[in-house]
Chain A
Amino acid sequence: MSRLDLRPYVCPLTWVKTRIALERLEPGERLEVLLAEGQPLDDLPRTAEEEGHRVVSRSPAPADGAGAWSVVLEKGSPRDAAF
């Protein structure tokens, strides 16, 4: 499973980098993103679900440092462009 440490980043880069990493996966493959407490932890899982991906888990990750959270996403089927 790929892992992405997004703690140094803020919105919209957190989602941009997640989305790029998801684009490189096949549907059904998983991606773990490491987030800091705060807005990205609320926004990123919601945005992922809105775009058709599944939030597998969301849990504290103390082994990665204080305030770290692990969010595991499963890539959904790609959606058609809106154009």
Chain B
Amino acid sequence: MALSEAEIARYARQLLLPGLGEMGQERLRSSRVKVWGAGPLAGPALVYLAEAGVGAVIVEEAGAVAPADRAGWLYGPSDEGRPRLDLALESVDAANRFVYAEPEGRGPGPTAGLICLESADATRAAARAAFEARLPHVVAEVDGEGGAVTVVPVGGPCFECSFRPGSGRAGVAAGYAAASSLGALELAMLLACLTPEPRGRRIDLLRGHPSARATVRQPGCSCASGRSP
């Protein structure tokens, strides 16, 4: 379905981006993105995905706002103790009235995923779940003031194939913002088909400098047969 007059006005600047156009915007609108997490690493991504005009943002999050969440974009001091999920959905709603904000389990399933969890173990588990569900997905990780973003298109090497443990440093505001916003951008490009072909890649962010490389399937990884490792 073509974009409405209101949608054209809403996305006017974005529609002028090279290669996006109406078709790319329609592809974004037809996507339902599940975001794992609503903590400081997810905050900027949730806002960017909503602003970009994906069809729905589905949030999976069970925690409450903690003092450390202030490093993200979504929560203020008065939010401590409140459910992250409710506040994250409110933020998506407020960012763009054309985007549905939904908790996990309501409405149709996702068509893509963005993993923004603070724990490495939880991140790897979510990446396995996204792979098994055959969702194109992006994984954002924070490491101090940097981090990494891994793009996993359907059929591409899985997250485990390029996984490298970080330094273990806690995230800081700049790292959350960089990894989270880059993760949302990479996913939007994947969904809008802005790359010549879906490609798996990992972008490492070190002291503000991105370094991208194509991901390669590790010999023997079960992802070659479509099964998560």
Q: Which residues of B contact A (CB under 8 A)?
A: 3, 8-9, 12-13, 15-16, 18-23, 189, 194-196
Interface size on A, residues (CB 8 A): 13
Bound complex: CA A41 to CA B21 (Å)? 22
A56 near B: Cβ within 8 Å?
no
Interface centre among A15, A80, A82, A83 (most CB of B within 10 A): A83
Q: Which residues of A contact B189 (CB under 8 A)?
A: 83
Bound complex: CA A81 to CA B21 (Å)? 10
Q: Which residues of A contact B22 (CB under 8 A)?
A: 20, 23
Q: Which residues of A contact B16 (CB under 8 A)?
A: 12, 15-16, 19
Q: Which residues of A contact B20 (CB under 8 A)?
A: 81
Contact A80 B19 (CB under 8 A): yes
Bound complex: CA A80 to CA B189 (Å)? 14
* A14 → chain B closest CB, angstroms: 10
* B17 → chain A closest CB, angstroms: 8
Q: Which residues of A contact B (CB under 8 A)?
A: 12-13, 15-17, 19-20, 23, 79-83
Bound complex: CA A15 to CA B17 (Å)? 12
Additional pairs, 6, CB under 8 Å, beyond known A81-B19, A81-B194, A82-B18: A16-B8, A16-B15, A20-B21, A80-B19, A82-B19, A83-B194
